[in-house]
Amino acid sequence: MTNIAILGSGRVGGTLAAKLAEAGHEVAIGSRNPADVSSRWAGKPVTVTGTAAAAENAAIVVNATPGDTSVERLAALRDALSGKILVDVANATVRGTDGMPGGLVHPGSSLAEHLQEALPDTKVVKTLNTMLFTVIVDPHSLKAPPTAFLSGDDVDAKATVTGLLGDLGWPADWIEDLGDVTSARGPEALMLIVPSILRNHGMVPFALTVAR
């Protein structure tokens, strides 16, 4: 059992919180407005608190905040995140007029790299950002095996995150370690094809994968 904080209470954060709690972890959702969120989790094995308190009490922290504001939000938690693993599942995109990703906030770089730069004492691992949120906790729901990409500088942190992915239902051979944190540029840039996928197929479960 691991103490895990989920920063962000939207669909991605909520889906992860429920599944990780079901897997036996102690899970807290960190929200800027915990009073507005706590009623949704009444009677469930997930606590809701402020972002700083959630981060301070966790061994592993998941960034599920909006990617275009993640660096600013998490930099303010630098002390609370020191020495911890930060699992970054967010995408930092510029929204087009249709609300879909139309560009990258960090072209030529990645959100994961900017988080690692802002949080030098934190071990950032990028993963789970190349799929619809439902697939994150139910990878076997797709007809073809999806891929969970990993990017990060710390080998031990990536091994820990690999174990966490196993708790979410990901077989080890569906997980692809791409290398150091700069390799997150690839998976993050892949988000730019998502609008076309959604226009062609609708809001159905999907994931970008490596066909073997």
Q: What is the pLDDT of residue 2?
A: 93
Taking the complete model, does pTM exceed 0.85, yes or no?
Answer: yes
Interhelix angle 11-22/155-167, rounded to 10 degrees, is 80
Q: What is the pLDDT of residue 97?
A: 84
Q: What is the pLDDT of residue 98?
A: 85
CA distance 18 to 168: 10
CATH code that applies to domain 3-201: 3.40.50.720
Closest listed residue to residue 29, CA positions, set 61, 75, 1: 61
- Over the stretch 46-76, which tens digit does the pLDDT of each residue have? 999 999 999 999 999 999 999 999 999 999 9
Q: Which residues of the chain have pLDDT under 50?
A: none
